[in-house]
Structure 1
Amino acid sequence: MKHLYLQDEHEIFRKALRKFLEKEAYPYYEKWEEDRIIPRAFWEKMGAQGYLCPDVDEQYGGSGVDWGFSVVINEELERVGSGLVGIGLHSDIVIPYITAFGTEEQKNRWLPKCVTGETITAIAMTEPGAGSDLANIQTTAILDGDHYVLNGQKTFITNGIHADLVIVACKTDPKATPKHKGVSLLVVERETAGFTRGRKLNKVGLHCQDTAELIFEDAKVPKENLLGEEGKGFQYLMEKLQQERLLVAIAAQAAAEKMFEMTMSYVKSREAFGNPISKFQNTQFKMAEMATEIEMGRAFLDQLIAEHMNKEEVVTKVSMAKWKLTETARKIATECMQLHGGYGYMEEYEIARRYRDIPVASIYAGTNEIMKTIIAKNLGL
């Protein structure tokens, strides 16, 4: 299927990236899963090849290309494994906050090393007592002279162990009414006194992705590290969450396509009662159903990506895509595992890992229940 937003140069880029990943990622991915972390050396190899933050302007070390290149990167990383989600988060979720709201000094200070992979980023929104309800975060940052004093705890933070720069959602005005007016964004650097990492969290899936707790105890953050304006953090988060949710939808679609592809290969080679199981009507119907859902998902997603790149209003459609495509991917993971039979439950078959990895996509970047709430509200309900 010809993607609406891709030209010949994107496909040439995809071939080069896939060749790179076949050498630098596929052979090592299972080891990374066992180690429960992706080595920083891989990040630096990605950066050296221009595969990190490709849309960052050339003056800050990026390539200044259109977002279609980021889509290609995220699709190909997902084909390797869902645990590489932290790379997309770095390039296409965290860095856009700096490029959109950062000062020239901040961009010059941070972006070049983010592009090379020397600096890894994270964004800290979720707290032990606040997930989707961002207006009720409890982390505070009180200005004291030339520093903010930051106190609070964050959890479920992607890239939490590796992160050298963390954008922290916090309350600079805890008494603001309404509450969301008190939210600001602070950029916290690795060596900041009072900033420590808690546990590296032990997840059901995404084993190689370093997810952690972050703790701030009277952490002194220079006031120059305020991103944008005080009190506008909630507004910034709502604006940038659209691309984050779109990325989740892209990964879910790519995962569904990959699972279907591996299952097609399996049912054609696995025999039962003297025939490949692909000859059984039940298998054919299941594969036909999945193929149809995948094609319909891809058509909707490609149109949505094109609209997003054209800077159109896509909040409702992004919420639809994030909900529907993650649910479809989870359903396909179950169907594909079933078609693999007992082997599907064995760790040496990739479908087992995919089955573990995909459910969280319906939870992060805003739960699918929140997506339905947004859709309903925008329908005028």
Structure 2
Amino acid sequence: MDFTLSKEQRDIVRAAREFAQGEFTNRALEFDRGETFDLEIWRTACELGFVGTFLAEEYGGAGLGFLEHSLITEEFWAVDPGCGQSVLAVTFGAELLQLFGNEEQKQMVLPELVEGKAIMCSCITEPEAGSDPSRAATSAVRDGDGWRINGSKMFITNGTIAKYSLIFAATDPDNPDRHARHSFFLTPTDVPGFQATKLKGKLGIRASDTAEVALSNLWVPDEALVGELGHGFQYLMAFFNRTRLHICAQAVGLARGCLDESVKHLKGRVQFGQALAKFQANQFKVAEMATRIRASRNLYWEAAWNVDRGKVDHGLIAMAKWFSARTAVEASDEALQIHGGYGYFDEYKVQRLYRDAKILELYEGTKEVEKIIVAGTLLG
């Protein structure tokens, strides 16, 4: 096995790190406090080729893999998770559209995402249907040569700034197979019946837009259906098997940021007449942090490498998602402990990292769901 990145991949990592350090560092605290983001940074990232690298060249992407996208994600999140999310999550849903959309749908949306002309959201989670999307109650009912959609979606990334949305809705709610009840629809967001309200007061990744979306008699034509009717749940699982790789990279990046800040603090601060780095208890903390980060990265590299070669290992992806997210949460806790009282204030990066970390164990599948998936691959 060769864990060495190619020259192209190393160049991508270097460029992503330099971009994030140059664009995020001086404004991350501003965005966190204001729960906002400067979209000019996203447009610049598009111009430089960081957005939508996993999209095929015919749709304006770089034609690279999910591993390369994850490498960029790790570097962005190591500098600032909120900014990293705001720049890279603009394509959230493009993974599904590229897999299952028709050519007209892909040509309409995907190039605009890469060019910095559009942002995408995916309306999946509902107030009463989070970890079990098969229970989603949003309905799509036949109406003429289209569908009438009604329902409520919650915690929607990019909800108020997206130009296009994928909507997960029940098209056959009485089907005895609950995995055959739902379908996906693609729609612009500037249509009657689509209303997004920004959610404020988030614990972390505050620069990233999150919304509640109300769908009220939203009409979409038959052409809005993505793929086949009743295949929405299967499409969603395939989608998550790609996007969870991004979450792994986010977690490793955040944990790396915690380690970097901890090492810098330990070397620079003196207590009891010597640098904090001299204390064995602190040495143990950074040693454990570094080991878990390396293990997490190896897990997601293997999982992403497999996906890019057509082998989607559901259990391995779940392992990587659960373990890397736990690594990030533990690393942020130890980093704040190392900083002591200083880490309790947002002028110190570790305070933001501490708040940003928890979402990794919640979105795209909670840690409990990931463990269930892993157990299922073992126990049947």
Q: Please report the TM-score for the alignment, with normalisation by the length of structure 2.
A: 0.95
Equivalent position of 1:53 in the other structure:
52
Equivalent position of 1:182 in the other structure:
181
Query: 2:138 touches 2:149 (CA, 8 Å); kept in 1?
Result: yes
Percentage identity across paired residues of the two chains = 33
2-structure distance, mates of 1:201, 1:115:
28
Query: 2:69 touches 2:246 (CA, 8 Å); kept in 1?
Result: no
4+ long deviations beyond 3 Å: 86-91
Equivalent position of 2:238 in the other structure:
239
Q: 1:359 to 1:3 in 2, by over 3 A?
A: farther
Q: In structure 1, what residue type is equivalent to 2:31?
A: W
Q: Is 1:80 aligned with 2:79?
A: yes
Measured against aligned partners, the alpha-carbon deviations of 1:193-251 in whole angstroms (never above 9, x if no partner) come to: 11111242321111111111000100111221111111000010011111122211111
Q: In structure 2, what residue type is equivalent to 1:147?
A: G
5 Å-filtered alignment, 1:99-138, equals 99-138=98-137
Q: Secondary structure at the match of 1:23?
A: helix
Measured against aligned partners, the alpha-carbon deviations of 1:3-42 in whole angstroms (never above 9, x if no partner) come to: 8373101212222333333333322222222221222222
Structure 2: segments with no counterpart, 5+ residues: none
Query: 2:123 touches 2:167 (CA, 8 Å); kept in 1?
Result: yes
Query: 1:172 touches 1:182 (CA, 8 Å); kept in 2?
Result: yes
User: Which sits farther off after the overlay, 50-59 or 345-354?
Assistant: 50-59
User: Which sits farther off after the overlay, 122-131 or 2-11?
Assistant: 2-11
Equivalent position of 1:332 in the other structure:
331
Q: In structure 2, what residue type is equivalent to 1:252?
A: A
Q: Secondary structure at the match of 2:142?
A: strand
Q: In structure 1, what residue type is equivalent to 2:123?
A: A
Q: 1:70 to 1:5 in 2, by over 3 A?
A: farther
5 Å-filtered alignment, 1:195-274, equals 195-274=194-273
Q: Secondary structure at the match of 1:324?
A: helix
2-structure distance, mates of 1:15, 1:289:
26
Q: In structure 2, what residue type is equivalent to 1:36?
A: E
2-structure distance, mates of 1:22, 1:265:
16
1-structure distance, mates of 2:289, 2:55:
37
Q: In structure 2, what residue type is equivalent to 1:48?
A: E
Q: CA RMSD in A?
A: 1.8
1-structure distance, mates of 2:244, 2:202:
21
Query: 1:162 touches 1:210 (CA, 8 Å); kept in 2?
Result: yes
1-structure distance, mates of 2:283, 2:308:
37
Q: In structure 1, what residue type is equivalent to 2:190?
A: E
Query: 1:5 touches 1:305 (CA, 8 Å); kept in 2?
Result: no
2-structure distance, mates of 1:374, 1:68:
22
Q: Secondary structure at the match of 1:246?
A: helix
1-structure distance, mates of 2:55, 2:231:
23
Q: CA deviation at 1:158?
A: 1.0
2-structure distance, mates of 1:269, 1:259:
15
User: Which sits farther off after the overlay, 175-184 or 268-277?
Assistant: 175-184
Q: Secondary structure at the match of 2:93?
A: helix
Measured against aligned partners, the alpha-carbon deviations of 1:164-216 in whole angstroms (never above 9, x if no partner) come to: 11111101122222222110001121211111112423211111111110001
Measured against aligned partners, the alpha-carbon deviations of 1:97-130 in whole angstroms (never above 9, x if no partner) come to: 1111111111111111111121101111110111
5 Å-filtered alignment, 1:219-368, equals 219-368=218-367
Measured against aligned partners, the alpha-carbon deviations of 1:334-354 in whole angstroms (never above 9, x if no partner) come to: 111111111111111100000
Query: 1:3 touches 1:302 (CA, 8 Å); kept in 2?
Result: no
Q: CA deviation at 1:379?
A: 0.5
Q: In structure 1, what residue type is equivalent to 2:170?
A: K
2-structure distance, mates of 1:255, 1:343:
19
Query: 2:67 touches 2:301 (CA, 8 Å); kept in 1?
Result: no
User: Which sits farther off after the overlay, 107-116 or 262-271?
Assistant: 107-116
Q: Please report the TM-score for the alignment, with normalisation by the length of structure 1.
A: 0.95
Q: In structure 1, what residue type is equivalent to 2:139?
A: T
2-structure distance, mates of 1:298, 1:16:
19
Q: Is 1:142 aligned with 2:141?
A: yes
Q: Is 1:7 aligned with 2:6?
A: yes
1-structure distance, mates of 2:295, 2:75:
20
Structure 1: segments with no counterpart, 5+ residues: none
2-structure distance, mates of 1:322, 1:54:
21
Equivalent position of 1:192 in the other structure:
191
